[in-house]
């Protein structure tokens, strides 16, 4: 069998599985997952019904994989698999770089989920990234800020914007919050890892000052330290399974993501699905595509005082809520799937 795509992916994440299942309905694909697990991901993140052909290279956690063995296994697959295009997962896996440089350019594709905001475009590392990018015959950036990397690298081959990094769960009905609010009655929600790059300590510090209600869903290395400094207006749920998040989203009004670094931000898509306007850091990779262009919330500087931003957001809540309700998620999901029809 000849596969349209031989896809190399780090982990069998639920949103990737959802996307690959849809792609497999259009043409034959084979997916190579580097590892079956990760030290920083819960089992609920790595699951899903798989309806495509796949291989898992190791059961060792992704962060502890043997890079040389990964290189050898992928090399063997490239030599023994009949495919039109191999999709490499960016340049994160250093052991794949020799294969990206040596494989035929017209058979090379790259999925770019990092944004220009977190990409160093100077020095030797950038020169290597430019070399890798221009060895690709096909590039699949997630959105506007990801495509900027290609522009910066003077990439001239085929580009297909994917409008996302995978398909979130859509197993709960959409609901748009239509309640009326008064000052300081809004309920804010954060969902994700509680780790330094997410900037949750700063988020809690700001909400300690303003007294607004904030809920934090997730766990991570910073959780216990942050709990100790949080005041009573801040509620911690800990880790919640994806299938149980719907009611939490529905009981809040704004989603807030203050990350210092965030390549895309799938959770923004999830929050919009459940009807929440979104307040996202300027460092969030999907900010242009899901917030600015759709006018579904605000983009803010995570280093600034939050108060002015929150006042502006609350005064425009009805407008943002209306715009969130206008999003056609079926259309957006199909745009992502159809971007691979080349």
341 DSSP 8-state letter: -
Q: What is the mean pLDDT of the chain?
A: 94
Q: Considering only residues 162 and 183, tell me which one the structure prediction assigns the higher pLDDT.
A: 162
Domain pair 3-163 / 187-330, same fold: yes
Q: Find out whether 180 and 157 touch, Cβ atoms under 8 Å.
A: no
| pLDDT exceeds cutoff 80 at 300 | yes
13 burial type by CB count under 10 A (0-12 exposed, 13-18 middle, 19+ buried): buried
Angstrom distance (rounded) from CA 73 to CA 85: 18
Among 105-109, 197-201, 240-244, where is mean pLDDT lowest?
A: 240-244
Of the pLDDT bands very low, low, confident and very high (cuts 50, 70, 90), residue 45 is: confident
Would you list the domain boundaries of the chain?
3-163, 187-330
Q: Considering only residues 198 and 40, tell me which one the structure prediction assigns the higher pLDDT.
A: 198
Angstrom distance (rounded) from CA 283 to CA 161: 19
Angstrom distance (rounded) from CA 130 to CA 154: 8
Angstrom distance (rounded) from CA 241 to CA 218: 9
| Per-residue pLDDT, 59 | 95
| pLDDT exceeds cutoff 60 at 308 | yes
Share of the chain above pLDDT 90, in %: 89
| pLDDT exceeds cutoff 70 at 178 | no
Report CA-CA distances (Å) from 132 to 10, 33, 103, 110: 18, 21, 11, 9
The DSSP string of 230-268 is --TTEEEEE---GGG-HHHHHT-SEEEE--S-BSS-HHH
Which pLDDT tens digit goes with each residue over 280-298? 999 999 999 999 999 999 9
Closest CA to 85 of 6, 182, 142, 197: 6
Alpha carbon 223 to chain centroid, angstroms? 21
Does the domain at residues 187-330 carry the CATH identifier 3.40.630.30?
no
Q: Find out whether 52 and 26 touch, Cβ atoms under 8 Å.
A: no
Of the pLDDT bands very low, low, confident and very high (cuts 50, 70, 90), residue 48 is: confident
Neighbour count for residue 212 (Cβ, 10 Å): 21
Angstrom distance (rounded) from CA 167 to CA 165: 7
Share of the chain above pLDDT 70, in %: 97
Which pLDDT tens digit goes with each residue over 224-263? 999 999 999 999 999 998 888 999 999 999 999 999 999 9
| Per-residue pLDDT, 172 | 72
Of the pLDDT bands very low, low, confident and very high (cuts 50, 70, 90), residue 177 is: low
Does the domain at residues 3-163 carry the CATH identifier 3.40.50?
yes
pTM over 0.85: yes
């Amino acid at each position: 069998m000849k596969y349209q795509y031989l896809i190399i992916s780090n982990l069998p994440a639920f949103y990737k599985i959802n996307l690959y299942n849809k792609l497999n309905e259009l043409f034959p694909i084979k997916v190579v997952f580097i590892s079956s697990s990760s030290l920083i991901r819960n089992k609920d993140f790595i699951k899903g019904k798989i309806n495509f052909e796949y291989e898992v290279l190791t059961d060792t956690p992704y962060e502890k994989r043997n890079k040389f063995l990964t290189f050898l296994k992928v090399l063997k697959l490239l030599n023994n698999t009949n495919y039109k295009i191999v999709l490499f997962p960016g340049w994160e896996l250093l052991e794949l770089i020799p294969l990206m440089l040596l494989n035929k350019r017209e058979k090379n594709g790259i999925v770019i989920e990092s944004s220009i905001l977190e990409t160093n475009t100077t020095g030797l590392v950038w020169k290597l990234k430019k070399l890798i990018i221009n060895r690709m015959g096909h590039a699949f950036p997630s959105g506007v800020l990801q495509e900027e990397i290609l522009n910066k690298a003077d990439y001239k081959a085929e580009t297909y914007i994917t409008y996302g990094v995978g398909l979130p769960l859509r197993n709960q009905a959409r609901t748009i919050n239509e309640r009326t609010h008064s000052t300081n009655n809004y309920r804010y929600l954060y969902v994700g890892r509680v780790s330094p790059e997410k900037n949750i300590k700063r988020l809690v510090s700001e909400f300690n000052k303003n007294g607004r209600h904030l809920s934090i869903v997730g766990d991570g290395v910073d959780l216990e330290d942050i709990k100790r400094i949080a005041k009573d207006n801040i509620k911690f749920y800990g880790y919640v399974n994806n299938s149980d998040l719907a009611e939490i989203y529905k009981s809040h009004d704004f989603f807030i993501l203050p990350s210092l670094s965030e390549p895309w931000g799938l959770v923004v898509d999830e929050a919009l699905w459940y009807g929440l306007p979104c307040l996202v850091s300027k460092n969030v990779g999907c900010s242009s595509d899901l917030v600015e262009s759709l006018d579904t919330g605000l983009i803010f500087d995570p280093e600034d005082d939050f108060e002015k931003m929150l006042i502006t957001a609350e005064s425009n809540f009805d407008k943002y809520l209306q715009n969130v309700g206008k999003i056609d998620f079926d259309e957006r999901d199909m745009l992502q799937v159809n971007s691979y029809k080349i």
